[in-house]
Amino acid sequence: MLPRDRLIVALDVPGAAEAKSLIETLGDSVGVYKIGLELLFSGGFALAQELARHGRPIFIDAKLLDIEATVERATAAIARSGAAFLTVHALDCKTLDAAVRGRGDSALKLLGITVLTNLSPADLIEQCCDHPLAELVRHRAKLTKEAGFDGVVASGHEAAQIREVVGREFLIVTPGIRPQGAEAQDQARAVTPRAAIGAGADYLVVGRPITRAPDPRAAAEAIVGEIAAALAR
C-alpha cells in the first residue's frame, strides 16, 4: 500500500457538483473518498455508486445505528453500491451482528465507530457513562473485532491502546487529524498525521484541513508526505 492509499478525504460538501470538482482537483493524490451524512443526503449515494463503478474505493460514513432488521437491510443496500468501507456505531452486539449479516459475502469492509472524536470525557458523563473514555474505546474495539468487523474508527489518542487489544491485522481508521498548527475546530481529540501513524493508525480521515485549504491538492500532498515520513520511521 502506498502512503497516499492511507489518506481518506472527507467530501463534506453540500452537493455532488462540489464533490466532483474536489475529486478533479485532488485526483490520485489521495486513496479513498469518504461520503458522509451531508453529501449522502444531497446526491452522494448516486455519486458513490458512480465512483465505485469506475474502480474508486469509496467510504460510506453512514454511522448506522438502528434495530437489527434495518441495520442489516441498509448494510446490504450499501454493499450493493460497490462501496469499499461502511461505518456502524459499535455500541452493542445486536447492531454489529446485523451489519455482518447484511454485508454477506460482499467485499464491503465494516468499521465500528468507538467514541466520536469530537467527544470529550465530559460529554460521556452527559451520556450517563462514567467509564474512562479510553476504557470504553477498548471495550467497543473488542466487541467490534469479535463480531467479525474489519476495523474501528478511533482517535489517534487511543490508537496505540486499541492495537494492543485487537492485534496487527485489524484496521484502525483515525479522523480528527490536524497538521501541526492547524485549528482543531470541533474535534476534541485531534492529533497530527505523524502522531496518528506513529500510534498505529492504518488510515487517516482528513476533511477541512484539505477541503477548505487554499490549495487542497498541495495540502493533501503535504499530509501524504508526512504519512510517508512517519512510516519510514
Residues that bind ligand C5P (CB under 6 A): 10, 12, 36, 61, 113, 116-117, 153, 175-176, 187, 205-209
Cell of 209: 484541513
Compute the least distance from the CB of residue 17 to ligand C5P, in Å.
19
CA-to-CA distance for 44 and 62, rounded, in angstroms? 11
Active-site residue flag, 63: yes
Beta bridge partners of 152: 112, 172
* DSSP secondary structure letter of residue 3: G
Backbone φ and ψ of 21, nearest 5°: -65, -40
CA-to-CA distance for 59 and 1, rounded, in angstroms? 17
Q: Which is nearer to ligand C5P, 41 or 104 (CB)?
A: 41
Q: Which is nearer to ligand C5P, 3 or 44 (CB)?
A: 44
Cα 203–chain centre separation: 8
Compute the least distance from the CB of residue 210 to ligand C5P, in Å.
8
Compute the least distance from the CB of residue 96 to ligand C5P, in Å.
16
Catalytic residue among 20, 63, 109, 142: 63
Q: Which residue lies nearest ligand C5P, judged by its C-beta?
A: 207
CA-to-CA distance for 76 and 98, rounded, in angstroms? 10
Q: Which is nearer to ligand C5P, 66 or 101 (CB)?
A: 66
Annotated catalytic residues are 63
